[in-house]
């Protein structure tokens, strides 16, 4: 029986003794070593009571075993739900409850904090550490290295990835087997990935970029990855001579450029550098070419759609653009007011349609209907235009979103928490330019009459509720918020007022 995603990405590499994961300490795992762990984990998922279609929530450190858990979920027909390792217990609790996950696998160090979360949701809890330790790993010891792959159809769900909204709480984007498979096959071809490629992988594996773009593309090509727990400049520079390609967020590239050890020689063995998840400044693109003689290939995607556009492999990689719609992806620019398609060259909202576009938000039919048209076009919330050569540029966002170091942060979630704090009448959270993260979070607090909010106490509350990357890096107190005649807060006025707040960073 078939399971298209497993068969094409994992099954196709069965029996290969070629390296798949190269670790910084010199150890490596072959494709077949990796698949054996995945199959043992698939047995452990079944033993934990998971059935095809059940959700598996995971909050674990990046490691070969963590990646094998993804493969195991695909093989067992279970819906994989990876979570940012920085999320607090409060945040995890929402995802587990909303998704109805049957099992939560977390790092052993987090088990105590997450036990009440799992209990409250009636979810099982097992642990998997970055050394392959923990109760989940124990339950996979001594079981067979082979597992009868569970049959799945192209339209069956493979993963849930939560993405925050401009209003309300996060939405579970339902991604099918076909969504993931079609996109990685297209990308592997467009970017000329082969079994000879070695990808320098320093991205987290709980987001589309590190999991479905970097990993799935490598698997589709039968290549290898230098699999690093995080972006550490020294390790990246040390490992680059072994690699042929790298994928990263713009912060990776600005950090590389900030280091004199990163030279044309250091990059000489690389055939391709790819950037995405946040805008790459045209200046970074030019500096990179000046330093290495190579042009970064910028592409554009979303959690709901995987990748939509890419600059060409052959042909001009144009700075400040995200290239052309990928084969099979239709892209149109529409009027945000009435949805009518706009003529070429005009700025409007970007809409995309294709096999990459998700199935909808889990148990949120109204939110799905608001963003996914009946004709299949998904309204991205990004504003863009297409130039006369067909290159797409993103010129802004229709949605209130901050992207810090490639992580998306929705101001609404932070404002809701700040508004609840003693002495705070209202708040506005904005993104301001930051040299390292591209943008960073700044909060403007308006006190209740006669009150003076205790900033230290508010910071303490924020740190128990929200992941570190969402914390405002500065909180300023203001008498009032600028509003337009409709009473809407003018965030553009605030962004302008505080644009130099981190000028030195």
Binding site for ligand AMP (CB under 6 A): 163, 208, 276-279, 298, 300-303, 322, 380-382, 394, 397, 403, 408
Q: Which is nearer to ligand MCA, 302 or 319 (CB)?
A: 302
275, 249 in Cβ contact below 8 A? yes
- Least distance CB 242 / ligand MCA (angstroms): 20
Using rule CB under 6 A, residue 175 touches ligand MCA: no
What are 442's two structure tokens?
């700044």
- Least distance CB 303 / ligand MCA (angstroms): 5
Q: Which is nearer to ligand AMP, 409 or 444 (CB)?
A: 409
Of all helices (H) and strands (E), which one includes residue 298?
A: strand 297-302
Residue of 45, 228, 266 lying closest to 140 (CA atoms):
45
Q: How many CB atoms lie within 10 A of CB 441?
A: 22
Q: Which is nearer to ligand MCA, 136 or 162 (CB)?
A: 162
356, 305 in Cβ contact below 8 A? yes
Using rule CB under 6 A, residue 404 touches ligand MCA: yes
Of all helices (H) and strands (E), which one includes residue 200?
A: strand 198-201
CA atoms within 13 A on the CB side of 309: 26
- Least distance CB 475 / ligand AMP (angstroms): 25
User: Which of ligand MCA, ligand AMP, none has residue 472 at its interface (CB below 5 to 8 Å by kind)?
Assistant: none
Q: What is the C-alpha to C-alpha distance for residues 438 and 276, in angstroms, rounded to an integer?
A: 12
Using rule CB under 6 A, residue 354 touches ligand MCA: no
- Angle at which helices 411-419 and 455-465 cross, to 10°: 130
Interface residue with ligand MCA among 164, 277, 334, 393 (CB under 6 A) is 277
Secondary structure of residue 397 in the 3-state scheme: strand
User: Which of ligand MCA, ligand AMP, none has residue 203 at its interface (CB below 5 to 8 Å by kind)?
Assistant: ligand MCA
Q: What is the C-alpha to C-alpha distance for residues 121 and 415, in angstroms, rounded to an integer?
A: 26
> Stretches 171-179, 221-229, 262-270, 403-411: which one binds ligand MCA (CB under 6 A)?
403-411
Judged by CB under 6 A, the number of residues near ligand MCA is 22
Quick note: the x/- pattern for ligand MCA over 91-130, rule CB under 6 A, is: ----------------------------------------
Of all helices (H) and strands (E), which one includes residue 477?
A: strand 474-477
DSSP-assigned states of every residue in 213-277: IIIHHHHHHT-EEEE-SS--HHHHHHHGGG-SEEEE-HHHHHHHHT-TT--TTTTTT-SEEEE-S
Q: What is the C-alpha to C-alpha distance for residues 347 and 336, in angstroms, rounded to an integer?
A: 10
Secondary structure of residue 448 in the 3-state scheme: coil
Interface residue with ligand MCA among 323, 325, 406, 472 (CB under 6 A) is 406
Residue whose Cβ sits closest to ligand MCA:
405
Using rule CB under 6 A, residue 171 touches ligand MCA: no
Location of structure tokens 């052959």: 314
Interface residue with ligand MCA among 76, 302, 430, 462 (CB under 6 A) is 302
Strand bridging mode 306-310 / 324-325? antiparallel
Q: How many CB atoms lie within 10 A of CB 389?
A: 9
410, 401 in Cβ contact below 8 A? yes
187, 213 in Cβ contact below 8 A? yes
Residue whose Cβ sits closest to ligand AMP:
303
Secondary structure of residue 46 in the 3-state scheme: helix
Interface residue with ligand MCA among 303, 349, 356, 427 (CB under 6 A) is 303
User: Which of ligand AMP, ligand MCA, none has residue 163 at its interface (CB below 5 to 8 Å by kind)?
Assistant: ligand AMP
> Stretches 120-128, 235-243, 299-307, 482-490: which one binds ligand MCA (CB under 6 A)?
299-307
> Stretches 119-127, 203-211, 280-288, 357-365: which one binds ligand MCA (CB under 6 A)?
203-211
> Stretches 109-117, 166-174, 202-210, 419-427: which one binds ligand MCA (CB under 6 A)?
202-210
- Least distance CB 299 / ligand MCA (angstroms): 7
User: Which of ligand AMP, ligand MCA, none has residue 384 at its interface (CB below 5 to 8 Å by kind)?
Assistant: none
Provide the 8-state DSSP code for 333: E
What are 450's two structure tokens?
């006669």
Q: Can you give 203-220 as a three-state secondary structure string?
A: CCCCCHHHHHHHHHHHHH
> Stretches 29-37, 297-305, 364-372, 452-460: which one binds ligand MCA (CB under 6 A)?
297-305
Interface residue with ligand MCA among 468, 483, 488, 499 (CB under 6 A) is 468
Q: Which is nearer to ligand MCA, 6 or 231 (CB)?
A: 231
- Least distance CB 437 / ligand MCA (angstroms): 5
Interface residue with ligand MCA among 210, 222, 348, 411 (CB under 6 A) is 210
Using rule CB under 6 A, residue 6 touches ligand MCA: no
Q: Which is nearer to ligand MCA, 405 or 453 (CB)?
A: 405
81, 57 in Cβ contact below 8 A? yes
Q: What do you get for the CA distance between the two ends of the chain, in Å?
A: 55
Q: Which is nearer to ligand AMP, 127 or 208 (CB)?
A: 208
Q: What is the C-alpha to C-alpha distance for residues 381 and 490, in angstroms, rounded to an integer?
A: 18
Location of structure tokens 């918020």: 481
User: Which of ligand AMP, ligand MCA, none has residue 468 at its interface (CB below 5 to 8 Å by kind)?
Assistant: ligand MCA
Sign, CA torsion 118/465/407/377: positive
User: Which of ligand MCA, ligand AMP, none has residue 404 at its interface (CB below 5 to 8 Å by kind)?
Assistant: ligand MCA
User: Which of ligand MCA, ligand AMP, none has residue 192 at its interface (CB below 5 to 8 Å by kind)?
Assistant: none
Q: Please give the residue ranges that form the binding site for ligand MCA (CB under 6 A).
A: 203-204, 207-210, 230-231, 249, 251, 276-277, 301-303, 404-407, 437, 468-469
């Amino acid at each position: 029986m078939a399971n298209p995603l497993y068969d094409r990405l994992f099954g196709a590499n069965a029996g290969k003794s070629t390296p798949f994961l190269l670790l910084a300490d010199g150890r490596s795992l072959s494709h077949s070593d990796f698949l054996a762990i995945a199959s043992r984990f698939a047995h452990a998922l079944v033993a934990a009571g998971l059935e095809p279609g059940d959700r598996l929530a995971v909050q674990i450190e990046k490691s070969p075993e963590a990646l094998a858990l993804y493969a195991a979920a695909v093989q067992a027909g279970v819906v994989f739900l990876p979570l940012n390792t920085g999320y607090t217990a409060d945040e995890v609790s929402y995802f587990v409850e909303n998704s109805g996950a049957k099992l939560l696998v977390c790092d052993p160090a987090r088990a105590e904090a997450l036990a009440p979360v799992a209990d409250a949701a009636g979810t099982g809890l097992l642990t998997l550490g970055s050394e392959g330790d923990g109760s989940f790993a124990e339950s996979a010891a001594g079981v067979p290295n082979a597992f009868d792959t569970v049959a799945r159809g192209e339209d069956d769900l493979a993963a849930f990835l939560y993405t925050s909204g401009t209003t309300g709480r996060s939405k579970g984007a339902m991604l099918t087997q076909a969504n993931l498979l079609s996109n990685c096959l297209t990308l592997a071809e467009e970017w000329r990935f082969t079994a000879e490629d070695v990808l320098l992988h320093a991205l987290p594996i709980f987001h589309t970029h590190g999991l479905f773009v970097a990993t799935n593309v490598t698997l589709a090509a039968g290549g290898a990855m230098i699999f690093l727990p995080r972006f550490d400049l020294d390790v990246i520079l040390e490992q680059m001579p072994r690699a042929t390609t790298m994928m990263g967020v713009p912060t990776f590239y600005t950090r590389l450029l900030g280091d004199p050890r990163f030279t044309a020689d250091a990059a000489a063995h690389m055939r391709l550098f790819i950037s995405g998840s946040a805008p790459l400044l045209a200046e970074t693109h030019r500096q990179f070419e000046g330093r290495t003689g190579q042009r970064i290939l910028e592409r554009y995607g979303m959690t709901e759609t995987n990748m939509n556009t890419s600059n060409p492999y052959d042909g001009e990689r144009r700075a400040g653009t995200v290239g052309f719609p990928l084969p099979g992806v239709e892209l149109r620019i529409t009027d945000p007011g009435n949805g009518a398609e706009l003529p070429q060259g005009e700025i409007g909202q970007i809409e995309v349609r294709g096999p990459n576009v998700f199935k909808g938000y889990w148990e949120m039919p109204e939110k799905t209907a608001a963003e996914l048209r009946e004709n299949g076009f998904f309204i991205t919330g990004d504003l863009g235009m297409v130039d006369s050569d067909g290159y797409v540029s993103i010129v802004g966002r229709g949605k209130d979103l901050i992207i810090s170091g490639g992580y998306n942060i929705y101001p609404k979630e932070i404002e809701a928490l700040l508004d609840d704090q003693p002495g705070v009448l209202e708040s506005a959270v904005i993104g301001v330019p930051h040299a390292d993260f591209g943008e960073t979070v700044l909060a403007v607090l308006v006190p209740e009459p006669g009150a003076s909010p205790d900033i230290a106490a508010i910071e303490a509350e924020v740190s128990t509720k929200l992941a570190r990357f969402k914390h405002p890096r500065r909180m300023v107190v203001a008498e009032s918020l600028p509003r337009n005649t409709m009473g809407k807060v003018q965030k553009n006025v605030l962004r302008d007022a505080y644009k130099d707040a981190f000028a030195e960073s």
